[in-house]
Amino acid sequence: MTSKNLIQKFNELGSIEIQTLTNDTYETMLEIFNTYPNKWFEQGHFVKVLNKSNPFINHQLHKLLKQHLVVRQGSKRKYFYQKVQ
């Protein structure tokens, strides 16, 4: 395959305009923490109820932690998350 053929394959790929996507799961999780500020939640609670993958929920929780919106407390091998008071 020539380099010209390879380059032409990219004609159908990519995008001219990048759209900003909102993360509905992130917003839902933030609303849950705001609605129940005194409750501690496990990552598995969000996985089960929101029907999302464990790595995806983990990423969302770490985004909330990084923004100092929730705190994380460990207990043995489990972590619990709560809204920052």
Where do the domains of the chain lie?
23-83
Residue 15 DSSP SS3: coil
Are the CB atoms for 71 and 81 separated by under 8 Å? yes
Output the pLDDT for position 9: 79
Output the pLDDT for position 18: 63
> What does the alpha-carbon distance between residue 21 and residue 44 come to, in Å, rounded to a whole number?
25
Cβ within 8 Å of residue 80, ≥6 positions away: 40, 41, 42, 72, 73, 74
Return averaged pLDDT per consecutive 10 residues of the chain, 85 residues in all.
Answer: 79 70 84 96 95 93 95 91 94
Output the pLDDT for position 77: 86
Output the pLDDT for position 21: 55
Does pTM top 0.75 for this prediction? Answer: no
Output the pLDDT for position 64: 95
CATH number assigned to the domain with residue range 23-83, chosen from the 4 options 1.10.10.10, 3.20.20.70, 3.40.50.720, 1.20.1050.10: 1.10.10.10
